[in-house]
Structure 1
Amino acid sequence: MKFALQKSPIPESRIFVAKELKEKHFDATWHAHSEYQLFMVLKGTGTRFIGNTVQSFNEGDLTFLGPGVPHLWRSDSAYFDKRSKLLTHGLVIYFPGDFIGDLIEKEEMQQVKDLFKKARRGIEYYGQTVSRLGTMMSNIIAAHGAASIIQLLQMLEIMAQTKAYRLLHNADYIYRLKESETRRINVVYNYAAQHFRGRIALQEVADLLNMTPTSFSRYFRMKTSKSFSDFITELRIRHACKLLSEEDGKTISQVSYECGFNTLSNFNRQFRLYIKMTPKRYREQFSIL
C-alpha cells in the first residue's frame, strides 16, 4: 500500500538536498515522502497538518518529520485572501534514512538513531535551539562538498541532544494512504480550511466524497484517528490562538464568533480542553513577551 503521495526531492547524484523556498504559499497538497524532512518557516503564517495533528505556524516554526508522515502547510494567503501578494519564505533539508549507512548501528550514533525513531511521530523544536539550527540551515545551503555533510551531522547531533522539543503525537501512528485517497483528503482539508468559521454540516462534506454521512465519519476517523467534528474544533481553536496572540483589538467574544463558535461559553470550554488554559490567560502570555 502506498503512502499519500510519493515525492523524490533528492537526485541520485546527491546525498541530501538543502534549499531555500520563496513562493506565494507553501506546498498545500497532502503528501508524504520516503525522506526525512527538516523544515523552518522564515516568513508566513497559516495552519500545518502533520499526521493527525493541526497546528498554527508562524515565523520560526521548525519541524522534523520522519519518512512516510503525511503533511501540508496551508498558508493564510492561500485560502483567506487569494489576491494576497504576501510571500512565504522557508528553509528545508531532505535526506534519506540510510545516508549514514551502517554507521547508524554504531555506539557513537545511538542518540541520532533515537532521534530518527522520534521523528516517526514528528518533532517540533522551540527556544534557542530554533535560532541555532536556523543559522546552520542557512549555512548548509551555501556549503559545498564534504563540509556540507559535516554540517548536517552537527545539526543532527544538536537535534538529538536538545531538550527543547515536543513530539507531535502521543503514540506511534502508522499512515497508510493509497494515492487515490490523496485527492479525498485534500478535498476535505481544503473545504474545512475555507469553511471552518461557519457551520459545516456532515452531509455537505460527505457529499464531496460521494459518501453517506455515516460512511464518511467512519472513513475520516479511520484515516486520522479522530472524528471530523473534533478536527473542525481543533482547526477553530488553532485559528483562535493566532487571533488572540496577534490581534489585540479583538475581544475574546469577537475571536470566538470569528472562529466559528456559536457561544462564548462553548468556546471557553473547548479552548481549555485543547490548550489547557483560558483564552484570557493565553492572550496574557503574549502580552508580556
Structure 2
Amino acid sequence: MKPFFATPGDTTLKENVFQIKEISQPYFSTEFHFHEECQLVYVVESAGRRIIGDSVEYFESGELIFVGSGTPHVWHNEQRYFTGEDQLVARSLALYISPHLLTAHLSPFGDISALRSWLKMAQRGIQFHGKVKNDIVALMKAMLVQQRMEQIISFITLLQQMTATKTFRLLAGNNYVNLYSDKDQSRMNDVFKHIFQNFRRDIPLSEIAGVAGINVHSFCRFFKSRTQKPFTHFVNELRIGYACKLMQEKHLPVEELSRRAGYNNTTHFNRFFKKIKGKTPREYKKDMLLLH
C-alpha cells in the first residue's frame, strides 16, 4: 500500500470527462495511492479493510464510496483472498471522473460554485446509503452498456444525485490533508502490510519502527505526520473495527470479542470501544440489532 501518485493515464482518462469500467480479479490492488481523478467505487463482491485519507474501516460487498481528487486510498482484501484456496474474487464497478475537465465543460452553462464546493468536500471521501445508493448503482450498471449519448445523460443524472443527496457519511477527518510524498512509498507500504497482518497481537514500537527502518522516536513522528493519528490509536481503530465486524457475523460475549480483537483486558477493550465508537460494545450491539 504505497502512497504513489497515479497519472491520468493510469486510469485511462485523457480527454474524456469520465470513464466507467467493471473490475474482476482475485483481489484488489494493495497499493495505497492517490490520483487527480475522482473515483466512485461500488464493491460488488469483496471484503477487507479500506483506507481513505485518515479513515481506516472494514468494507464488504454492497458499499458505495466516492473518493475525491488527490485523496490517498486503498481497498485491501482479507488475507484469505491472497491464498487462492477459497477461489474468492474481488469485483467492483469503478467510475473515474476528471474534476478539471468536468468543471471546464460545465462552467459555460452557468454557476458551478456549488459543484466545486462539493468536489472539495469529497476529498474527505463519501459513503452513500439508502435509496440514493441504489439509484446511483443502477445508473452505474446502465452506463456499462449504454451508447455515448445515453451514457452522458446517465452520468449527469448520477452527478446530480450525488451532489444533491443528504444521505451520505464523510470518511476522513475534517482537517485531513494529504501529506504523503514519493519518498514515503516503500516505507509506508511495508508498515501498513505489517500492521494489517499483526494488529490482533501486541506490536511493540521497536518492532514496527524496525519494519520502517528508523528508530522509535523518528517512527512515532513519521507515522503521526503521515496518517494524522498516533500509531497506537491507528491499531486500536483496526481492532475495534474488527470487533464490530465480528458483532455483525457472530453472537459472541464481550469477553470473547475482546480476546479475538487482540485485547487481553476486557476493561481496556470497553474503554477503547467507547472512545472510538462513542458507545459501549453492548450499546453498539443493541443499536445494530434495531437496524436489522
TM-score range, shorter chain: over 0.9
Q: What SS does the aligned partner of 2:262 have?
A: coil
Aligned to 1:178: 181
In structure 2, distance between residues paired with 1:230 and 1:42: 30
Partners in 1 of 2:286 and 2:238 — Cα distance? Answer: 22
Match of 2:203 in 1: 200
Which of 43, 49, 57 is residue 59 of structure 2 equivalent to? 57
Question: Which secondary structure does the structure 1 equivalent of 2:112 belong to?
Answer: helix
Which ranges of structure 2 fall in alignment gaps of 5 or more residues? none
The yes-or-no answer on 1:4 pairing with 2:10 is no
Report the Cα offset of residue 13 of structure 1: 5.4
Structure 1 position 141 matched with structure 2 position 109 = no
User: Which of 5, 14, 17 is residue 15 of structure 1 equivalent to?
Assistant: 17
TM-score, reference length from structure 2: 0.91
Could you say which residue in structure 2 is the equivalent of 1:257? 259
What's the TM-score once normalised by structure 1's chain length? 0.92
SS in 1 for 2:5: coil
Residue aligning to 1:278: 280
- Kindly report which structure 2 residues correspond to 1:1-289, keeping only aligned pairs within 5 A, or say none: 4-7=4-7, 8-12=10-14, 14-77=16-79, 83-100=85-102, 101-104=104-107, 107=110, 109-248=112-251, 250-288=252-290, 289=292
Which secondary structure does the structure 2 equivalent of 1:90 belong to? strand
Q: Which piece of structure 1 moves more, 26-35 or 77-86?
A: 77-86
Task: Tell me how far 1:283 sits from its aligned partner.
Answer: 2.0
* Distance change in 2, residues 1:102/1:134 (3 Å): closer
Q: How far apart are residue 276 of structure 1 and its match?
A: 1.3
How many corresponding residue pairs? 286
Identity %: 29
Question: In structure 1, the residue corresponding to 2:203 is in which secondary structure?
Answer: coil
**For structure 1, which segment, 106-115 or 150-159, has the greater mean C-alpha deviation from structure 2 after superposition?**
106-115
Most deviating of 47-56 and 95-104: 95-104
1:79 to partner: Cα distance: 6.8
| Structure 2 letter corresponding to 1:251 | P
- The CA deviation string for residues 16-46 of structure 1, in whole angstroms up to 9 with x for no partner, is 2201111221122111111010011111111
Counterpart residue type for residue 282 of structure 2: K
Q: Deviations 1:84-121 (Å, cap 9, x if unpaired)?
A: 32112211100111223152475453432222111112
* Structure 1 spans left out of the alignment, 5+ residues: none
Q: 1:41 to 1:192 in 2, by over 3 A?
A: same
Root-mean-square deviation (Å): 1.9
* Whole-Å separation in 2 of the counterparts to 1:266 and 1:79: 31
Q: CA deviation at 1:254?
A: 1.1
Report deviation, 1:170.
Answer: 3.2
